[in-house]
Amino acid sequence: MGAPVIAAAALNSRTGRKILAGAVLIIVLVIAVLISPLIAIPFAVAGGAVGTIPTEGNAAPAASGEWGYPLSGGYSKGRGFGYNPVIGCSYCSTNHQGYDMAQGCGATIYAAGPGQVITAGSWQGYGNAVRINHGDELVTLYGHMQWGSLQVSVGEQVAAGTPLGAEGNTGKSFGCHLHFEVQKSGTPVDPESFMAGVGLQLK
Ligand SMILES: [Zn+2]
């Protein structure tokens, strides 16, 4: 007895039906308000992540043969190889051993060529870095990536275009950028010359 009887009685009068419809509307609104945070949170998280990564960083980078660019799409050039002091940065190296390129904090960094990951984590002044051994004493290094962004681990085999991590500002860095270094027999060589040699022009 009780509620069903009152509801049945309410349905028998016009005013009763209006009251019942109002009550149902209030209940629906209360439920909507209660569950809305549960719906909104996943979108907010996804939106935040997408917001920090440029869309051009999500497509596979241009490749030539077995090699590809470490960033996908357009980028701005930072310091080139050789004597290049950073104005306003006393801890930055003056004799630059790599090639700096920037797309924006959080942009995906890709392996430039096939090989085995020999470093994945904190590495000297390079911050969060990945080093790949390509054989023939050839090693590429990707420096200053965001902490916690690495997508590969030591011992893993990668190909050109394998995502490594996200562009960051870790280690001896002065703003988000990728420090791309190429070493031959343990000695850094000019990445521009090396990449040109495999058919990929750095700007
Ligand atoms: Zn650099």
Phi, psi (deg, nearest 5) at residue 161 = 95, -5
What pLDDT score was predicted for residue 16? 56
Ligand 1 centroid to residue 113 C-alpha, Å = 19
pLDDT of residue 60: 87
CA of residue 17 to ligand 1 center, whole Å: 74
Tell me the three state secondary structure of residue 39. Answer: helix
The angle formed by the CA atoms of residues 170, 172 and 176, to the nearest 5 degrees, is 50
For each of the chain's 203 residues, which pLDDT tens digit applies? 455 544 555 556 666 566 555 555 555 545 444 444 444 433 333 333 333 444 444 688 999 999 999 999 999 999 999 998 888 888 888 899 999 999 999 999 999 999 999 999 999 999 999 999 999 999 999 999 999 999 999 999 999 999 999 999 999 998 999 999 999 999 999 999 999 999 999 98
pLDDT of residue 75: 96
Q: Determine the pLDDT at residue 22.
A: 54
- Length of the chain in terms of residues written: 203
State whether residue 136 is helix, strand or coil. Answer: coil
Q: What is the 3-state secondary structure (H, E, C) of 68-131?
A: ECCCCCCCEECCCCEECCCCCCCCCCCEECCEEEECCCCCEEECCCCEEEEEEEECHHHCEEEE
Integer-rounded Cα radius of gyration of the chain:
28
Question: What is the CA(146)–ligand 1 centre distance, in A?
Answer: 15
Q: What is the pLDDT at residue 13?
A: 64
Buried/exposed 50-84: b ≥16 CB within 10 Å, e otherwise: eeebbebbeeebebeeebbbbbbeebeebbebeee
What separation in Å is there between the alpha carbon of 172 and the centre of ligand 1? Answer: 9
Q: Can you tell me which residue has the tokens 């030539």?
A: 64
- ∠ CA 160-68-135 to the nearest 5 degrees? 55
Per-residue confidence (pLDDT) for residue 148, from 0 to 100: 98
**Which pLDDT belongs to residue 14?**
67
Give the CA count within 13 Å in the CB-facing half-sphere of 70. Answer: 33
Going from the Cα of 16 to the center of ligand 1, the distance in angstroms, rounded, reads 76
